[in-house]
């Protein structure tokens, strides 16, 4: 089978032939040993929507080449649905599978896939279980450098005042129950510890300098609600918080929208402007870049509530799904593939945002 490498620009320019529905399937037919199945969550937030769209565009291109394999993309809206999809693939047979696990609850399904003699690639959310990753048919785990997202965020905070402020606390707003938030938090806390933070500082029981909200599940609306609940409980001293570490652009936008709403009192808004130094995010949503650049449609309103608060984002390109499909293609062609395929990330702030285009398009 010939190699398939397409530029990101070419893929981005492809038009989608149809919309994906929850638990929908597009591309080739299902079942049979010439089928390559791509299993991803439905568009529950901007990043997964972009992954889904990029996967569909790539699949359409591969199918148009008339190769011996037929590619299809199947979406789901829950872990149980994805487990059922895995069972169907195992029962029907397939040449290979690329899967973005819905969350860690898909572990049992992935174990059954690993036992089926079907080559597979995990993308983004890597479930570390030797029964999965130790299997001979596990081709690779393709992901952005999640630990680097955490470590780069911590270093940015340290370089912009946190190192000198031994009292400042950090509010952490995580994504979901999966390997991604775990790795991002690990990178964050490890870098802080390397720079003098003690175990007591890093305590997560409320006694240390890290304050965690509940999982946002990558949802802007949930982040908005969680932030409003937190700040109303914290009061005007903000519980000592001066930096906010979020796991996604949607989460940081949820904070900004909350601050621009009427659900936070003026005295709390003033406290945020006075005390918060930086809000971080990641994934590279173009709308977040608009806010950082200063050309968002609501920019005047956002500037009013943010004041001098610094914003930055760390890339996590949804085009990486193509690399996961490429890894499977290489394995099917008999090539050796590195088990750990980690893709570098980049900090984006006001100094370089003008040179970078995010995903999702501009809002107007």
pLDDT in tens, 74-96: 999 999 999 999 999 999 999 99
What are the pLDDT digits (tens) for 42-64?
Answer: 976 789 999 999 999 999 999 99
**Sequence-separated (6 or more) residues with CB below 8 Å from residue 121:** 96, 97, 98, 99, 139, 140, 141, 142, 324, 325, 327, 328, 331
Alpha helices in the chain (DSSP H): 8-12, 46-64, 79-92, 107-114, 130-133, 146-157, 179-194, 220-234, 249-259, 266-275, 286-293, 299-306, 320-332
Q: Do domains 8-141+318-343 and 146-316+349-355 have the same CATH topology?
A: yes
- Domain positions in the chain are 8-141+318-343, 146-316+349-355
In this prediction, residue 26 carries a pLDDT of: 57
In this prediction, residue 20 carries a pLDDT of: 37
What are the pLDDT digits (tens) for 8-40?
Answer: 323 333 333 333 333 456 555 555 689 999 999
Burial class of residue 51 (count of CB atoms within 10 Å of its CB; 0-12, 13-18, 19+): buried
pLDDT, mean over the chain: 91
Please name the helix (run of DSSP H) or strand (run of DSSP E) that holds residue 172, with its range, or none: strand 169-173
Cα separation, 123 vs 52, whole angstroms: 12
What are the pLDDT digits (tens) for 249-304?
Answer: 999 999 999 999 999 999 999 999 999 999 999 999 999 999 999 999 999 999 99
pLDDT classification of 68: cutoffs 50, 70, 90:
confident
Residue 285 CA, distance from chain mean position: 10
In this prediction, residue 22 carries a pLDDT of: 36
The CATH class of the 146-316+349-355 domain is alpha beta
Burial class of residue 71 (count of CB atoms within 10 Å of its CB; 0-12, 13-18, 19+): buried
From the options 3.30.450.260, 3.40.50.300, 3.90.550.10, 3.40.50.2300, give the CATH code of 8-141+318-343: 3.40.50.2300
- How do beta strands 347-348 and 310-315 pair? antiparallel
């Amino acid at each position: 089978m010939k190699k398939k490498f397409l530029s990101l620009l070419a893929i981005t320019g492809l038009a989608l032939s149809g919309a994906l529905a929850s638990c929908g399937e597009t591309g080739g037919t299902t079942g049979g040993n010439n089928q390559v199945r791509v299993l991803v969550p439905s568009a529950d937030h901007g990043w997964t929507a972009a992954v889904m769209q990029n996967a569909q565009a790539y699949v359409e291109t591969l199918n148009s080449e008339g190769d011996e394999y037929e590619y299809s993309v199947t979406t789901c809206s829950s872990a149980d649905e994805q487990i059922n999809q895995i069972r169907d693939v195992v029962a029907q047979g397939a040449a290979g599978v690329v899967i973005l696990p819905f969350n860690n609850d898909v572990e049992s399904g992935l174990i059954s896939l690993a036992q089926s003699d079907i080559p597979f690639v995990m993308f983004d959310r890597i479930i570390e279980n030797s029964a999965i990753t130790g299997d001979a048919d596990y081709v690779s785990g393709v992901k952005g450098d999640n630990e680097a997202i955490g470590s780069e965020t911590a270093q940015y905070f340290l370089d912009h005042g946190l190192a000198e402020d031994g009292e400042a606390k950090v509010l952490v707003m995580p994504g979901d129950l999966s390997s991604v938030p775990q790795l991002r938090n690990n990178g964050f806390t490890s870098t802080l510890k390397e720079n003098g933070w003690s175990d007591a500082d890093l305590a997560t029981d409320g006694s240390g300098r890290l304050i965690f909200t509940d999982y946002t599940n990558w949802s802007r609306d949930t982040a908005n609600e969680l932030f409003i609940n937190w700040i109303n409980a914290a009061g005007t001293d903000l519980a000592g918080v001066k930096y906010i570490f979020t796991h996604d652009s949607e989460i940081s936008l949820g904070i900004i929208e909350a601050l621009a709403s009427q659900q936070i009192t003026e005295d709390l808004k003033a406290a945020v402007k006075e005390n918060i130094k930086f809000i971080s995010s990641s994934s590279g949503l173009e709308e977040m870049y608009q806010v950082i650049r200063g050309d968002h449609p609501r920019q005047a309103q956002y500037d009013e509530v943010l004041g001098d608060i610094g914003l930055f984002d760390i890339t996590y390109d949804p085009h990486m799904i193509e690399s996961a499909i490429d890894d499977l293609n290489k394995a099917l062609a008999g090539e050796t593939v590195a088990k750990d395929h980690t893709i570098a990330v980049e900090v984006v702030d006001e100094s370089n945002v003008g040179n970078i285009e995010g995903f999702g398009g501009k809002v107007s």
